[in-house]
Structure 1
């Protein structure tokens, strides 16, 4: 009898070990953009409620940091707040990683100040450039350096770290060169750190994704931006769902993506997750505070995934500044 129970215990133990190993194998690993993170995290939570045997692990190391891991084959999916860059395309090639590019939302980059700031009513693109370009370091230090009538008080600048896709897009759109920025600002890949810093400093200014502004608008003040282009509307434009979706908030509106490793897409758990993502993104995106794409965009993305269509519609040029939802749809449909 003792032998029987011992054999039964060993058999049960082996069965449980097998179950744990099988469950451990069903992992979808994701890293990348802090801007896209809230969307992917929300999708993951909903997905895991229906698929309890699959674990979705979502990290935040910034778009660039995420691509470094993704292009080495360390993750299944990369969240990205900009298209893949030429250097990242090359890294993926070197490691034999093919990828499927899937747009999942539209977003604006909000420029924000402390609510106690009562002098900034708007900023022009040229003024933003004057603040953030590399030659501003050590020279453009006070608010009065931007407009003489503003206080002679030192600005405290906050922005995403250099691995952030938001940093890449902002510098390209405002300064005219990806990664070109003054270095004397407080940087973080965690947008919540930026929110806290700006909300506590009357003389602060910073930028990050529109959704983080919406979530914290009680402790922040958004700054309308004037790009000087009449077609985008007269005068300064504030980021809103409407101005972002209609392409009026320029040049700081941009599409958001997930990139899927083609080899990973052969696994059932990854297939299930990506299909769930594209089928449920629209309502989750809007619920969290981003601009959802039209239904046709998600249908095109799902078709691209099912056909395992690899590469990027942006070529090796990276972000295209000022692309509208309509233009994105046209690019995706070609």
Structure 2
């Protein structure tokens, strides 16, 4: 069990022992990532790399290894995930669901047609997300007409044999009707599609302004009195370590009183919870209003470019939800650049 220096781990050790009775738990300490005694930005930025190399040294190259994510800060989960992607014999699961995490391991044959169809499959999702497609079950499906529009191609000739391996492996869903054939990307083939998608984007200059993508839990700010808020500096709570030219915030909350999970923009979330009569929904709406006002006023005050922020409600530890988070985040980054021009994307995991 990998734990962080200075942090209590008895609860996690007890949880593992309950899940696997009789297991022998060996505890290994990793350095804490935080300001601490590190006084410079360079010292702080080196900590994740030092942790990654230490984890890689612990992996036995001759034995099957399984890593479990889902406990602790996001940055530690991300480093564990990076370590797992360096080895083909390492499986990565979420501790709550015991389901796989998205992987960069490829399924495809690298046929020429893939350079056209795979980016178009990503683009079909992005288009549906931005347009807020109402028939959610059909988001991302692509037929010949849509393919020709998104890929600027003349047809789907040769796609079936080229994608057969990914279809057979569950990476792409194929639906056949009397009139046509449609395809949709599944999580297993997301790494292939994302790789092709990003490889075809124009190369960005290193001197471009940045877009900081910051993650944080939506704090409980609203009291039971819907007109009263507790004192809380929301922007300081989210404030990343580095200066920023643009900002996209991803707010998350687990709340058992909200009977669904989903991903939406902050504006969409405000509208969705505005007319709800349930007390917990009203409090959630109040927290969203506070977050919106704080982000809006502070970014305007400091001249920070924004477009639309994201809200994730009751995130689920499964591949489908992970894929949706990636696609929604990509869609909002693309829309940001349509408004403000190309940016260098900086992902801040310090919260």
Q: TM (normalized to structure 1)?
A: 0.25
Greater relative CO, 1 or 2 (CA 8 Å, sep 6+): 1
Q: TM (normalized to structure 2)?
A: 0.25
